[in-house]
Amino acid sequence: MRIVWYVLLVVLGALVGIAGSIVQNAWFPGGLILALLATAAVFYGGLRATDTQLGVVAPGAGWLVAIVLLSLGRPEGDGVFGGGAAEMIFLLGGMAIAVICATMSRLVRPAA
């Protein structure tokens, strides 16, 4: 059952990365804040849903793959990222959020 959670978190991380890439520059600066909040929510949610640091790594991997693929663009020159400060803040801020969530201490569950 845990493997299903991790696969779901990878897909969810990729979806948040795609949505964040589109929104962060469309409604600057509100879109950037919204994209970073969604990124933090999926990373922290993965940590709490699985109670392991792998719960942060799974959506983080999906998020990073989506971001890297979108930043490559196409041979015609089209790309989601146009270059600028907002894209760098989104990329570096998302990675910083992943590190923060991965190093957070887990809650101790009371014995039943």
pLDDT truncated to tens, each residue of the chain (112 aa)? 888 989 999 999 999 999 998 888 877 888 899 999 999 999 999 988 888 888 899 999 999 999 988 888 777 766 666 677 888 898 999 999 999 988 887 666 666 6
Is the torsion defined by CA of 76, 80, 84, 89 positive or negative? negative
pLDDT at 86: 83
pLDDT at 107: 61
| Alpha helices, DSSP H, located in the chain | 2-26, 30-50, 54-72, 85-102
| The model's pTM | 0.84
Contact 81, 87 (CB under 8 A): yes
Token pair for 85? 């400060």
Domain spans of the chain, in order of start: 2-102
